[in-house]
Amino acid sequence: MGVNISAKEVNELRKKTGSGMMDCKKALVEAEGDFQKAIDILRKKGQKVSVARSNRETSEGVVLCKLNSDESQASILSFTCETDFVAKNEDFQSLAQDIMEVAFENNLESIDEVLASEINGSTIEQLILEMVGKIGEKIKILDFQIMSGEKIVPYVHAGSKLGVLVSLNNTANTDYVTAGKDIAMQIAAMNPIALDRNQVDQSVVEKEIEIGKEQARKEGKPEQIIEKIAQGKLQKFFKENTLLSQSFVKDNSLTIKSYLATFSPELSIESFIRISIG
């Protein structure tokens, strides 16, 4: 009745897909020896695993940055999994690098574009599903962003779970790489919500004023000065949470704005991206 599956066929399917021997044998039996159908069955198994584990937290993984030769274009990617053991797996690391390479070389701009692109005839989405089936963990591209600017400085924090891109303007005749690295490390450590107060969302400003007023009332402050106290607390919030106003972590006597001025009065930050896992 059943079809005979040779050990050689099982081994060939295992090499091609990276799945376990028993999984490969079961897939070939189910596919009645049809190699392509067996691959599809294994992919579907990967998809089932992915769906079954969709509520799992992907709090491990790697963040990668890639920069073009004139430092004007960069991509940043977070590729995530559930455990540190998988994050250090050679196949996981290799796929992350391949995904970044394809995304960067093809000027891709979104996760959907990345998932739909191909490596050796398979879409990246398929390759991720195959890895899910092989490893048995939820694996996903958590974030992918691009940046363009005059000069971009990338930084990946030790452990590769946090990365930053900083775009700088008016960089001519300045040591913008040193400035950019220090600022990227500041962003990694202090996680500012915006470049300056003008870029803070109005809803955040209103919420902070409301919190400031409530705190003042609880402290029994007179109603006529509550607004003034709330505004004072808002200024403190801006100082602590917007990049240019933050105290420089390497030298608290400087703000990031005044630190930039030590390189050149014109050197400025255009934008930044911070991606972290976990």
- So what's the pLDDT on residue 2? 61
Average pLDDT over residues 210-214: 88
- Would 107 be classed as within a structural domain? yes
Is the pLDDT reported for residue 197 higher than 50? yes
Tokens encoding 179 = 């400035």
Say yes or no: 20 and 92 in one domain: no
Residue 20 included in any domain = yes
Least confident of 213-217, 224-228, 246-250: 213-217
In a domain, 181, yes or no: no
Does some domain include residue 171? no
Q: Give the pLDDT band of residue 21 (cuts 50, 70, 90).
A: confident
Looking at the fold, whether 40 and 66 belong to one and the same domain comes out as no
Average pLDDT for residues 74-86, to the nearest whole number? 96
Expressed as residue numbers, the domain containing 46 is: 7-52
Mean pLDDT for all residues in the chain: 92
Please report, for the domain that includes residue 133, its CATH number: 3.30.479.20
For residue 1, what pLDDT band results from cuts at 50, 70 and 90? very low
Q: Average pLDDT for residues 170-186, to the nearest whole number?
A: 97
Q: Is the pLDDT of residue 56 over 80?
A: no
How far is 11 from 56, CA to CA, in rounded Å?
31
Per-residue pLDDT averaged across 214-243, rounded?
Answer: 91
Tally of domains in the chain: 2
Q: Residue range 154-160: average pLDDT?
A: 94
CATH number for the domain harbouring residue 34: 1.10.8.10
Binning pLDDT at 50, 70 and 90, where does residue 3 land?
confident
- Same domain for 24 and 89, yes or no, is no
- Are 85 and 138 contained in the same domain? yes
Residue 236 located in a structural domain:
no
For residues 161 and 278, is the Cβ–Cβ distance under 8 A? yes
pTM value is: 0.82
Q: Are residues 138 and 64 in the same domain?
A: yes
Is the pLDDT at 205 greater than 60, yes or no? yes
82 within a domain of the structure (yes/no): yes
**Co-location of 15 and 72 in the same domain:** no
